[in-house]
C-alpha cells in the first residue's frame, strides 16, 4: 500500500463497516472500526534527510589483503 492512498483506503473500509453496522446492528457489540494501517516496514526505509547526509564523514575501510593471491587458492584446494 502506498502512503498516498492509505487515507482513501481507510475511509473506504470505514464506509463498508458503517454500512454493515447500519444493516445489522444486532451483529455488533460496538461500532466497528477498520484495523490500523501499519507503519513503514523495514524493507522500505524512508528516504534520508539531505541535511543529515551533508554532515556524515566518510570513514575509510581497511582492507586485509593477507588472505588473497595464489597462496590462498592453494590452501583452499588442499582443505577440500
pLDDT in tens, 17-64: 999 999 999 999 999 998 887 776 666 556 766 776 666 677 777 776
For residue 40, what is its C-alpha cell?
A: 513503514
DSSP 14-31: HHHHHHHHHH-GGG-SS-
Distances (CA, A) of 41 to 3, 47, 53, 66: 12, 13, 22, 40
What per-residue confidence (pLDDT) applies to 24?
95
Can you give the residue ranges of every domain in the chain? Answer: 1-39
In this structure, of 5-9, 11-15, 61-65, the range with the lowest mean pLDDT score is: 61-65
What per-residue confidence (pLDDT) applies to 32?
93
Confidence of residue 4 (pLDDT cuts 50, 70, 90): confident
Amino acid at each position: 500500500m502506498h502512503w498516498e492512498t492509505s487515507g482513501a483506503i481507510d475511509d473506504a473500509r470505514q464506509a463498508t463497516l458503517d454500512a454493515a453496522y447500519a444493516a445489522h446492528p444486532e451483529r455488533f457489540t460496538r461500532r466497528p472500526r477498520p484495523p490500523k494501517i501499519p507503519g513503514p516496514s523495514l524493507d522500505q526505509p524512508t528516504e534520508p534527510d539531505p541535511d543529515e547526509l551533508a554532515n556524515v564523514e566518510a570513514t575509510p575501510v581497511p582492507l586485509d589483503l593477507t588472505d588473497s593471491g595464489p597462496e590462498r587458492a592453494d590452501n583452499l584446494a588442499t582443505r577440500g
